[in-house]
Amino acid sequence: IVSVQEHQWGSALITTVSAVGCFTVVVLGRRYATRGTTQLEKGVLVAAVAGIALWLVVDNPLLVMLVAITVDAVAYLPTVVHAWQDPDEESWRSYFVGGLGEVLILVAVVARHADTIGVLYPAYAAVMNLAIVGVIFGSAWWYGKSDELAAEPY
């Protein structure tokens, strides 16, 4: 919302796409999950709700963006843990393509002389997506599953 208010359309677009993707994962996860909710996931949910509440009462666009990024980063923790524990269950390619897309959006946003708010979320998202790729490959190497990861069909 803050990206739209500040007319940072690249950041607004990628934030919206990210939110839709996260919502889709939650819906599909609830529908097809083979395990329950972990304590980490419950804690992250509480932190996210607290962050959203803070976001609603803050009137500074930059601070709102930083709170939104912090909430998103905290919400990423279960994904990081899962990617480390079961690297073969995460598609490194989807995170790589997401990270590459974020980098391209960042280049476009910078080329249009975006301000800090317009640059923050795409930069954060690029780093997080590419970091997950690193976690997946690092875990596969650590657990000796590199060959399985390289052979995945998708």
Looking at the chain, the number of H-run helices and the number of E-run strands are: 7, 0
Contact 84, 139 (CB under 8 A): yes
Q: pLDDT (tens digit, 9 = 90+) per residue, 26-82? A: 787 777 776 777 787 788 778 878 877 877 788 787 888 888 888 888 888 888 998
Predicted pLDDT of residue 1: 63
Other CB atoms closer than 10 Å to residue 106's CB: what's the count? 23
Output the six-digit token pair for 49: 């709700």
Answering whether pTM is above 0.75, one says: no
The average confidence (pLDDT) of the chain is 82
62/11 Cα distance (integer angstroms) = 13
First-to-final CA distance of the chain:
34
Q: pLDDT (tens digit, 9 = 90+) per residue, 12-35? A: 777 787 778 777 877 877 777 767
Helices assigned H by DSSP within 86-115: 92-111
Predicted pLDDT of residue 26: 72
Predicted pLDDT of residue 110: 82
Rounded to an integer, the average pLDDT of 82-109 is: 89
User: Any idea what DSSP says for residue 115?
Assistant: -
146/88 Cα distance (integer angstroms) = 9
Place 106 in a pLDDT band, splitting at 50, 70 and 90: confident
97/92 Cα distance (integer angstroms) = 9
CA separation, residue 61 to residues 4, 75, 94 (Å): 11, 21, 30
Predicted pLDDT of residue 150: 60
96/20 Cα distance (integer angstroms) = 18
- Using only C-alpha atoms, what is the Rg of the chain? 17
The continuous run of DSSP H or E covering 4 comes out as: helix 2-5
Place 100 in a pLDDT band, splitting at 50, 70 and 90: very high
Predicted pLDDT of residue 42: 82
Contact 128, 141 (CB under 8 A): no
